[in-house]
Amino acid sequence: MAATLKANNTYIFPDDISSSDFSSDFVWGSATSAYQIEGAAFEGGRQPSIWDAFCLKNPGAIDNGDNGNKAINAYYKTKEDVQMMKKMGLKAYRFSISWSRLLPGGKASMGINQEGVDYYNNLINELIENGITPYATLFHWDLPNALEEDYMGFLSELVVLDFVDYAEFCFWEFGDRVKHWITLNEPYTFAAMGYAYGTMAPGRGGGDTETQQAVLASGNNLGTRNRARAFNNKEAGNPATEPYTVAHNLLLCHANTVRLYRDRFKESQGGVIGITLNTQFYEPLDPTSQDDKDAANRGIDFIFGWFMNPIFNGKYPQSMIDNVTDGRLPEFTDKQIELLTGSFDFLGLNYYTAQYATTAAPTDVVSYLTDSKVHQQPDDLNGVPIGPQGGVYWFYSYPLGLYKSLMQIKSEYGDPTIYITENGWPDANNNDLKLEEARVDEKRVNYYNTHLQSLRDAIRDGSKVVGYFAWSLMDNFEWASGYSVRFGLFYIDYAHGKYTRYPKTSAIWFMRFLNAKKAIEINKAS
């Protein structure tokens, strides 16, 4: 249901959802990540992460040559940002910790940056003092570049010991106040985009133009269909093997960290620990075709099941075992299977979009990009998009996909406790809009409204979702899209160098939503 512009220049939005439709103890929050918002990249004792190195070495890989050097200056705006959350009525905040801000060399033995420790202590204390519960993510893709240079980061099993040591430091320093820990954010995105597509740090595996075109022609492209690569890294990496090696090591980092927390910290600190995985829902292109149904299931397996299966039962999905040939899919030892199985107190789920799936055309290219044998497309057999397109090429709104994803997880993965740790709408940045125009984000309000209805329905039908975090609190550095895309509830003024925050219509809608008021009327010029 769309918002309506009334004669008196106000918008009235749908009144069919509010926080009163959820349990009184349901957790409402917003989410960010360190590299996307903090800035102060070379200040306060911080050393480069792989994202700093990636942006510096490959400026053509980021829209407009953007980087996170200043991001949105959140490093210096802690009090202001916490007050924004408080005013909205948010009760939780999901943030990530910058590994290289705490341990500049990646290892505690190489020195601890006390200024970084103080920064996160101040953030956590500020949140708690204002009645906002901190949810901390240990790894949101920003590995210290020192470890990348030392032993190639997540391509080496050596990363597991260093990750666990870093996690132990965080538990020791912050665990007396942080009671909700997330080990990894979207390991799929890190492994696939960083080591298969090559569009994100550390930028390995994309291959030369001929290989890219072969992948596109076959239709095997689960994550970035039709994206034109801005640079060529044909000398770097192997997309046939490296994504699987990296994913394997990410899973071992997760499982060993959970074991550490449960063995040494959980009882005394009273917290819980989980992981955040992302999913993209696939509908069969032809709903009467078993082949298309199988393709849709493979598509989900090669994104979500790749990590969910191992932490649930210690095994990769059968569809991956069957399709990743020539011994390229690593195997878990018996000890690792035991370590992985059940290694989460809760599941964080990031959901944004959906596509249609059918079997891809055959290809001789051996790569993660082709192993799934899935061709995805946004349009159905009649050429009708699966939903409204957002401000980035890959994004189509499909609320039913959230409901179906949650029902599938309930039935196939033991009915876990779930937080929706990211969900939100992207607008393309438009510098021609005046501030008062740019802050009116009707499409984002409609996105939240419809997806929260699907979430409500999933909970009604038995899904154990206990919290929801909107992505994102503020516009920020959106990885390969730089600042060309805006996901925020708050508008960031990049133009004048002060990074002033302004509430969008969606922020005001959320404020009223959290106050259990269903109808909303907002003056366009406010």
Please report the sign of the dihedral spanned by the C-alpha atoms of residue 104, residue 106, residue 109, residue 114: positive
Q: Which two tokens stand for residue 320?
A: 């991956």
Considering the candidates 38, 126, 148, 186, report the single residue annotated as catalytic. 186
**Can you give the three-state secondary structure of 157-217, one letter per residue?**
CHHHHHHHHHHHHHHHHHCCCCCEEEEEECHHHHHHHHHHHCCCCCCCCCCCHHHHHHHHH
What does the alpha-carbon distance between residue 203 and residue 226 come to, in Å, rounded to a whole number? Answer: 18
Owner of token pair 């109808």? 519
Please report the sign of the dihedral spanned by the C-alpha atoms of residue 83, residue 84, residue 85, residue 86: positive
**Consecutive H or E run containing 191:** helix 187-192
Angle between helices 242-264 and 158-174 (to 10 degrees): 40
Question: Is 436 known to be catalytic?
Answer: no
Estimate to the nearest angstrom the gap between the alpha carbon of 228 and the chain centroid: 22
Please report the sign of the dihedral spanned by the C-alpha atoms of residue 239, residue 245, residue 251, residue 254: negative
Helix (H, G, I), strand (E, B) or coil at 248: helix
Question: What's the DSSP call for residue 220?
Answer: B
For strands 272-284 and 180-185, give the pairing.
parallel
Owner of token pair 């740090």? 201
Do residues 233 and 206 touch, judged by C-beta distance below 8 A? Answer: yes
Considering the candidates 126, 148, 283, 422, report the single residue annotated as catalytic. 422
> For the CA atoms of 392, 396, 397, 401, what is the dihedral angle to 10 degrees?
-130
Question: What's the DSSP call for residue 49?
Answer: B
Question: Is 422 known to be catalytic?
Answer: yes
Helix (H, G, I), strand (E, B) or coil at 71: coil
Cβ count within 10 A of residue 290: 9
Cis peptide before 472 (omega within 30 of 0): yes
Any idea what the Cα angle at residue 141 is, between residues 169 and 278, rounded to 5°?
Answer: 110
CA distances from 491 to 290, 411, 434, 498, 504 (A): 45, 39, 12, 12, 6
Do residues 300 and 320 touch, judged by C-beta distance below 8 A? Answer: no
What does the alpha-carbon distance between residue 395 and residue 378 come to, in Å, rounded to a whole number? Answer: 9
**Which residue type is seen at 359?**
T
CA distances from 116 to 18, 31, 75, 97, 123 (A): 38, 20, 10, 10, 11
Q: Which two tokens stand for residue 279?
A: 């999913």
Active site residues: 186, 422
